[in-house]
Structure formats: structure tokens, C-alpha cells
Chains A and B, each alone.
Chain A
Amino acid sequence: MARADGRRQPPGSRLIWPLLAIPGTVWLALLFVAPLYVVVAILFGGTDPILREPVPVWNPLDWDFTQFTYVWDHIVGSQPFFRPALVRTVLYVTIATLLCLLIAYPVAYFTARFAGRWRGPLLAALIAPFWISYMMRMLAWVNLLQTDGLVNRTLSAGGLLDVHVNWLQGHATTVVLGLAYGYVPYMILPLYAGLDRAPTAMLEAARDLGASRWETFRRVTWPLSQTAVVVSLLVTALPMLGDYFTNDLLSGSPSTSMIGNLINNSVLTPGQTGQAGAFVLIILVVSVIPMVLYVRSTRSGADVMS
């Protein structure tokens, strides 16, 4: 068989790539497409008359759009009581992600460039939070942030000052800091991987050509690490978008509800499970947009490289 470039393909090569794609396609179908269809079938399905449990409707011709319309109307309509939680989510996630970047970039930069023989132990220390469950780490903060907890005791300088901040009583600051604390390890690792791969020859060339440390960082290191930054922002921000646990543990107040809380509340409330599906679709759309932009940017970058 002749290819466009004139070279012959070995026999059977047409089948190799589709065969190699089977595991990934099966994985995608079972763990993404099928669950997503279940969510959609519940969103556009019915409700049991007694238990008010969701009754999925598999045939799209029989779908009922009431639940989706209800959610949509309460986001953009005259009584938009879902909207603040959505705005809050975007705000909290943006601030927490930027905080993560501020914390993670210097740490990853130091580890990749200057840690030397301490690189191994430092990396182990950076991965250490993954050994402890997210819930346990948040529960530790509950103890620290209690009114008579270590944070207030420290702020009160051992009792000299009267500090009674109710950190756990619906403070946006606490939730944002909790999110940043919880997700920062997810950002450090991809950043480290990206910075570690930056060719040192280019950095040395910049210095040899008279660039200062700051100029080298600004004109060489930062541009080289941008892909890693985008990846780490996505890896961190996307799970944060659906987070409900941080708010539940560190606030517990409706004043700091995020979209994850709306999903959790709807799933656990008879008659409202379908609405959770609508929120899931919203998160999905919001998540897919930056992913598409990222894929487009990396493809155009690859084209330029080639």
C-alpha cells in the first residue's frame, strides 16, 4: 500500500492504531460517556410519585426539560437564587488557584533548579500531603481554626490580645485558604515536572549574553514554563470547581455555598436530584472551555515547533 509520501506501509498497520485505541476508548465509554448519559437521563427524567426519587428516562424522545428549566430560570431569571453560588464558585476558585500558583511556583522552581542533593527529600516532602486524606487535612484545620484553637491563641499572643475570630462561621477567607491549602500539592508537581525539563543550556546562554537573573526568568524561564503553568492551573482549578467538602467542613454556612454544595444538596434531596444533573452539565461546559483552549494552544505550539 502506498502512502502520500510514497513509502509503503507494512501489512496490517492499518489495524494497529485502532486496536491500540481500544482500551482508551473503552475506558472513555465506560467511565465518562456512560455516566454522563446516566446524569442526562436523570436530569431529563421523571420523579417517583411517593419517594420523589429520580426515575431516569433513557429515550431522548421522552425527555422532560422541567428540572433543567427550573435551574436555568433560577440562574438567569427574575429569582436568581442559584446565581450567587455560581459567582462565588468562580471567585473562590480563581483566587484559590492564583494563591496556589503564588505558593507553588517558587517552591517548584527552587526544587527544580536549586535543591541539588536535597531534591529527593524535598520532592518526598511535597508529595507527603497526598499520603493523608483530604478530609483528615481539613479536619486538622477545623481544630486549628476553632475559636479557642491554635490560630486564635497565636493571634492573641498568648492571651495578651482579645482575639475571638470565628474562622469556621461562614468566612469566605477560610474557604478560599482551605481550597488553596488542599489543592496546592496538585499544582506543585506538574510545575516541578515542567521546570525540571527546561533546558539549562538556554538559561546559561541568557546569562552568558548578559541577562540579569530577573531578565533570565522573565524572558526564558517563564515562557518555557507557561505550558506547565497552564496544565497545573487546570489540574488544580477543575477539581476545585466541584468541591463541596471544604466549604462543608470549614464554613457550613449557606453564605459560602459553592456549586459543589448545590450539587450535593440536590442529590440528597428527594425530588431535586435531576437539578444536580443540570449543575453537573454547567460545570462540564465551564471545564471544557479552558480544556479546549489549552488543547488548541498546545497544538498550535506543536505546529510552530515542527
Chain B
Amino acid sequence: MADHQYGARRRSVVKGALAAGVSAPALWTLLSACGTKTSSSATVKIPSPTTPVTWPMSKVNEAIAAGQKPKAGTTLRIYNYADYLSPRVLKDFEEKYGVNIRLSTFNDADEALTKVASKQLKFDLYFPSYDSLGKLIGADLLRPLTHDYLTNYDNLWSSFRDPWYDRGARYTVPYTIYSTGIGWRTDMVPDDIAGMDNPYDVFWDTTYAGKMAILDDWHTAMSMVLLRNGIHDINSTKQSDLDLIRTQLLDLRKTMHPKVTISMYTDMPAGQYGLCQMWSGDAINTPYYLPKSVSPSVMRYWFPPDGKGEVDNDLVVLLAQGENPVAAHFFINEILDNSVAAKNFGFTGYQPPLNKFTPSTLVSDGYLPQNLATAVVEEKDFKVGFPLLQLPPASDAAWHQVWQEFKAGG
């Protein structure tokens, strides 16, 4: 009887509260406000060096008019990887134009795309790779550039002024170039990795189990397995290639217990591990993070000497959700300036594809030590190297599923 009374009282409480305003329709309205949205078009073009793409001008997001100036006191919102823009460059820009910069960071492209797609964060500038360009344009997330603002555009290498992934540079400006290879410390890894028949095998060498890391970037990490096996189509859609990746990646996890991260540039100098898959820009940056007791000469970076490895460039794009497109244009132009780009390179370690930075003189100019000369990316590398491309939706899902299995640790 007591239980019955208790239950009845609870029901009357809820009824009373609902009657007071928290009604089902109100709740329904609240939930509906969360929004249901889909991309405007279900077809996506996939650019590649052999099939360049000229993107149509957006009908939804118009390019801004030329001749405007950034408004002082406004905020420029930038979305980028951590430590991928020099704080000095940001501060100088703020002082020069009176604009406040708010920098938000992401860990990987998937995370970034998820947040950019929400359109809620009002980012003005975003630094993606070209493998997500088709999605960004297909979903009408970008605003076309107004080139009148980009007076420094000709500072770029000529081959980057009209790139295959965006003919006419309607939406993108190249930001940095990099290769993906192997980084190691000679004081922690006695083997001469560069001299091995197949240097990628070192990631499966149990001597280094529990002392190595691979990049927390699904496509980069998985394509390394293909390169290890001499398969140069690192954007393969073949099931047999994906099966090979799955088998060897799961084997790597079980036998090597790798750390999966993108903070190699700080972890390896700190001595957390001595061997890792690495981006060349991070390799160039490692000497600055080494303890004073360790000589920068211990750092090494390997990239296939014949150039048949992964070579990419990152971009800067203007997001349509941003509220300060004029300042965003000025910022893009600023980082194409030779002296600003030099400052930025000095901080990030990632080369800008600008004429001023001659790859052959980067070592003699003091940008990096001789032992890391292999991390320099040259214009010719893009002729023989392999870029990571956007995958067709079904393959993209299949690759992600394998990566999910790898990261689940099952």
C-alpha cells in the first residue's frame, strides 16, 4: 500500500510539472531546433594530379568585393592544427590591422571536418589538406577567394599557382609542403634505418616494441602499410589492398604496442620513444624541443631517396560561416609574404612553397641542420611522390572501419 501511494505521488509530481510548461510539444520544438541538415548535393568530384578539377563558383556563398579594409576591433577566427602557425605572426597581424585573432586547434582532419560542418563555430579560415576539398566544396562550406587581395600570390612556386586540386585557385591557397617518412633518434635506435632494404619494416621490428609511434591520421598511417609492400597506389579502392592493410596494421598493434599520436615533434625529443612515423615539418622542428643535454645531431629523418613516398601540401581556405572575410583575405596575403613566411617556417618547421625558400639552400641558410636535410621537400618531389587523395564514399567508409578496428585495440 505504501509503495502504491509513493508511486501515485511521483506520477502526480511529474504531471504537475508537465502541466506547468514542460510539455511534450515544447520538448519536441527544442529537439527540432537541433536541426536536420544534409549537404545540398550528393555528388562529389575527386581531384587528382591526372584529373585536375576546376570547381564551380559557389551559388550560395559569393566572393567578397575587392577594395575593402579589415575593420579594427573585429575578430578573425582561425581553425588549424596546434603549433601550425607562429604566435609571433598572429600577434604582428593583430597589431598591424587592429584585428583580434582567435585561434582554435584540432588534432586530425576528421575531427576538423566534423566541427567545420556544424557551421556553428564561425571560423573564418581553415587549414585543410586537399583530400577534404571535394567535401568542403560539395557541401558549400567555402567562400571563393577574391584574388585582388592576394598581392603576394606570385611569391608561390609556379607549379602551385594553378594546382590540380583547384584549377584557377578559386578556393584555396597553398600553405605548406611536407613529406611523410620515418623519424628516429640515433641515441635510442642503433639500427641504420636509412640503410635497410625496406626501412618501413622497422615499424614491425619487435626490438622497438613499446618504443615507437605512428601518426594518428588514418590515411597517412594506413597508406604506409601499402608503401611497405611496394604498392604505390596509396589511395587504393581494392579490397585486397585494404585486407593487406588490415592484417599488417593489426599485427603492428599486437606486436609493437605503438603510441598513436601527432605530437612526435615533442614526444620524441622528450625521449618518450626513439622511432616514429613522421611528417617532415615535425622532423625539422624536433631540435628545438630537445633537452639541452641532447645534441640535435641525434635526430634523423628518412624519406625514400627515389621520391616514391607520400608528399602533400596543406591549404588555407575561406569558410563561408566566417564573419570576417576581409581580414581573412588580408591574413592569407600576409602569410604569403616572404618575411612573414620565414617567421612562420622558423616556428612550425613546415616549408612554405615560396620562391624565396630554395630547398637546396635551406641547410646553408640555417633553417635546419645537415642531419635533417632529408626532410627538405623539393618541387620535383611532387612529380614522383604520391599524394593522399579523397576516397570515394564507399572506400572511405571501408578504410575508416579498418582504422576504427585498429584504434579500438580489440
A-to-B contact residues, CB < 8 Å: 15, 17-19, 21-22, 25-26, 29-30, 33-34, 37-38, 41, 48-53, 55-58, 74, 80-85, 88, 146-148, 166, 168-170, 251-257, 261-262, 265-273
Contact = CB atoms under 8 A, between A and B. Distances in A.
Interface string B18-60: 1111100001101110101111011010000000000000000
Nearest to B210: A169
A267 B108 CA distance: 13
Interface in B177-210: 210
A164 B44 CA distance: 50
Contacts of A21: 13-14, 16-17
B405 A268 contact: no
Contacts of A262: 408
Nearest to A267: B114
A51 B257 contact: no
14 contacts: A17-B16, A18-B15, A18-B19, A18-B20, A21-B14, A29-B22, A50-B138, A53-B118, A58-B36, A85-B408, A148-B291, A169-B272, A268-B114, A270-B400
B31 A254 contact: no
Nearest to A81: B410
A210 to B, nearest CB: 40
A254 B406 contact: yes
B161 interface: no
A53 B211 contact: no
B31 A34 contact: yes
A22 B16 contact: yes
Contacts of B44: 50
Given A56-B34, A169-B211, A170-B210, A254 B253 contact: yes
Given A251-B259, A268-B107, 17 more contacts: A22-B20, A26-B22, A29-B27, A41-B34, A48-B117, A52-B397, A53-B117, A55-B36, A80-B410, A82-B408, A83-B410, A84-B410, A85-B409, A88-B409, A253-B260, A271-B396, A271-B400
Nearest to B134: A50
A41 to B, nearest CB: 7
B9 A17 contact: yes
B393 interface: yes
A33 B27 CA distance: 9
Nearest to B9: A17
Contacts of A51: 39, 113, 117, 135, 138-139
